[in-house]
Structure 1
Amino acid sequence: MDYKFCTECGTKVEKNSFVCTTCGKQFANVQDAYDQRQEGMAMGGISSSSFQELKKRPVIDTRSTKQTSQTKKASLIIGGILVVLLLGGYFLGSTLTSKEKVIQKFEEALKERDATALAGIVDSTDPNLTITEKNLYPFLSYIEDHPENASFSTLEKAGFANILPSGKKWFFFDNYKVYLKSFYPVISTNFDGTEIYVNKKMGGRVNHNEGKMFGPYLVGEYQLKAVYKGKYATLNKEEVIEPQSNTSNKIEVNFTLPENYLSIYSDQDDAYLYVNGKNTNQRISEIDRFGPVVFDGSITIHAETKINGNVIKSNETTLVDEDFRDVGLIFNYQDDKKDVVVIRSEDSPASDVSPDKEDLSSLNVEAEVKEIRGEYNKINKMQKNYNLNKYGDNYFEYINDYGIIKKIVKKDNGLTTEYYFWDDGSLFFIFTTTGRPLENRYYFKNNQMIRWIDSNKRTININTSKVNQAYKDWENYWVNQILSSMD
């Protein structure tokens, strides 16, 4: 028997077969089969019934079968590609939004001090704080000053940062953000209407002991400044806070500004107080305390009143030493009008008192006084090592091992105490105080007074170029009183 092979699948079939029994490939069309059958019948090789049976067999379209097979293969390939793409995309998406990737981006932004990149990575759990590039600057400045904290793990351990889910990204993947710690400074002060500045930006005003909350702010270094603007003084104080050292989200900050108030008294309580030549329209008797003021020499005060038809003026005091807060504005008025400083009468125009002028500028008083202060402070510290001689209950002498007097203390009925300081037999400093208290300070060089800070807190040096005669008389009186008391 002759055989042939299917050209489609290679199956061995009989030579006269019209269709492959394996893949269905048709070897010849029906017409060829019919002609061959007719020839067979003529030769007596095939019956009519067999031919009819052959004619009824279905005709198989080998081209359609082949096309279907190729379509299936293409579908499988495309499906495989889609599966690979989906799996790859999912893997890529989950990698890009993972905690590790967000932390990596966070640390890179810290390293580069990139506020723009950081703003897209971080957030705050405080709904009152919106992250912007600007409010990230203090945090980045903190990282720059503390490079050892420029990692997420360090910040997380310190409680300054953590990482949490923040919704979905691309519908399938968990999105993460780094959340930074925030804090609130709670600020109080001792003056109403004090302005509060945070990193040079006005944040608001605080009243006396109010305890007002500012913020929120991110972790970082912040410079706080309190400014009180009064009529006679502008007071301010600064403080730097580092909330990273505080475990709470609130930091108490108390700005205690200097309470530079004066206690003013006079021998004429109905006199009006003048500041830098202007009437305050306040009588001395009405002033409980005056201020706040500054002690930089920019403020001079005096009082004025009318006596026997004349407008008279008290002594003037220029505020130059913050230790002097009790100010006496004295008129020294007597019935015989001695020592009265007349500013103007009711019927005469105002005129200034013409001071005497002296030129004694060769001595550097400030340098001498600085040296004197150092010496009497040294004596006070060494006082316990000196020999103490007591003469009753009100007179004490402190003498060194060489028998030289270093300090004398005199008390007068418990109201007045006088301190005398000596160096090599020369008096160089006297300090007196009374029960009010009123204080006087006298500085000497070679037994000559070079500076006097009197009970009215006036500072007069030996080279002062503008001193009135009444003041000189008063100065001489007290110097003589003190020196005579040493006899």
Structure 2
Amino acid sequence: MMENKQEFCPNCGAAVKSSDDFCPNCGYNLAAYRQRLQAAEQAAGSSAPTPPPTQPAPPVQSAAQQPPAQRAPRPPRQPLSKKQKVLLWVAAILVVLLGGGYYAGTQYFSRANQLNRAAAAFAKNDPQTAAAYITTDDPKLSVDAQTVKPLLKEFQATPSLVTQFKQQASQQALAAVPSTTSGFVESGRRLLLFPAYKYKVQAVYPRVTTNQNSTQVTFSGAPAVRVTGKLNGKEVGPLMPGRYTITTTATISGKKVSSRQTRDLTDATPELALAFKTVSFTATGYPGAAVLINGESMGQIGKDSTLTIKDYPITSGAAKMTEVFTANGKKIASNPVSIQDASDNDEIGVGYPGVISHDNAQELVDAAFQNTHDIVRYDDASDSDIREATDLFENGKDNKYYQQLLSTMTGYHKSQSIDSWEAKVRLQHVYPIAENQALVIFNVSWIFTNADTDGYHVQTFQYRGQIDRNTKADRDAADAYVINSFSITKKIEDRHTDDGSDY
């Protein structure tokens, strides 16, 4: 009986018997396989060439007499082990994942999507994200979450700049040869595989001019950039283009001063004039009044009604002086006056709310005495002449002090020992008492002549009075101020002179 020789299935490698016509494991047709194998072996044997006749040779078996060579059957493949199958599956999964990941990466890191993320970071003031989408060709300019803040500050101040940036970047991509020197350009790689696109900026190098040796200049968002000393167009930087708060400090005449300004620095070399302006002038006012500039005390007005201000630094566009006078224990602040353009020869005074000026007070008191004098001299004074005098007094003709003045002058006019007389007024000081009220001090020289003596008799008295703001009239009206009261405080002189103008 023929022995069942063990063989292996050429398809799956499973062990089979020589009597099996089909593989019990995979169903492969073993019978047909054997027939094909046998036919191939026979064909190989019949095709061998017959050697030509030769001379008798030694009794050695010739090649023609040897049996035809048989090709060994191909060994069946060994089945994959479990570990090999697992590795094969892992490799296949990795290929799928890597392929899918690369495709996803090309979408996520596309130029359009990177542009959207950059614009969003600029608009939302996100310095950490924005720094990843900004580059420069200046190796000295650091690009990080700190240095990009001025640029983002400019975007926040002008949101349309973000829209403009995005539109220009989109148009840039449509160009036949996109720019590589400015705009949204390719710069580096992301994850080593995908091109990185970034907003390329030009570094800023300001030219700084100062005028004090003690000057120090700092820029917000750029702590590494500091400027010191007296400079003339010195180039400093680099700075990220953007909006900066520039702080300048110095010590002038022992006084520490500082100024701040906000500037958009976007040009390559902008000019920065950071010199401190100083002014010198003479403040005039009431003796003892405190002088302040922008709220800072400068001293007090002296007995000569002046205070010298020298080399005061102007650190803002609204440098104003005020004076505070104390009357009856009450402080009264003047109206502010600008000293922005003061020069060495200027004398600058102030006015107080509702308080008459020195010149206007002189004119008012002089008119009151002169108009009353005219009423007395002319027996037939008209109603309009009378009103011109009485309108200068509070409550008009009913004012007590007007009536006293009228009575005094009437007495002089009717006196038999006086041929002529007149009154000359010289205002000395105007002091604020309260809002709409002023204390006035003035001298009146009464000049008399008579038939019994030659020359002039001059008597000068000092008066103290009050002038009020006429709240019923406009501030610029002729009757904006009226005399409330006045009285003699002391006699200054009593003398005779040959010169009627000597008073």
Q: TM-score, normalised by structure 1?
A: 0.43
Larger Rg: 2
Query: Taking structure 2 as the reference length, what is the TM-score of the superposition?
Result: 0.42
